[in-house]
Amino acid sequence: MRILILIGAILLAGCNITPTYEKGTLIWVGCHEVEQNPSPEGSTAYILLSHLDRGDKLYLQQIDDNGNANVTVGEPCR
């Protein structure tokens, strides 16, 4: 029983750690449906080396210069 409590405490201790990402890192943003590619701000959605078309699904986003991963080419899937 003590081992189980110890394992649970170790797992819960790591829950408050916020990851930091470097520019260019791809992170999971969930399903987004492409509406406009490129976006008005200049972001472009790709899969491998080809552009995504309207209606395609986007799941990964690259971190920008400010450390953000804002999807500007589409909206979350419904």
Predicted structure pTM score:
0.59
Please determine, for residue 17, whether its predicted confidence score (pLDDT) is greater than 70: no
Cα–Cα distances in angstroms (integers) from residue 20 to residues 31, 58, 65, 72, in the given order: 22, 22, 13, 21
- pLDDT-based confidence at residue 14 (cuts at 50, 70, 90): low
| pLDDT 10s digits, 29-70 | 888 888 888 888 777 888 877 888 888 898 888 777 777 777
Which residues 6+ apart lie within 8 Å of 32 measured at CB? Answer: 57, 58, 59, 71, 73, 74, 75, 76, 77
Lowest mean pLDDT among 3-12, 19-28, 31-40, 48-57: 19-28
Which class for 32: exposed (0-12), middle (13-18), buried (19 or more C-beta within 10 A)?
buried
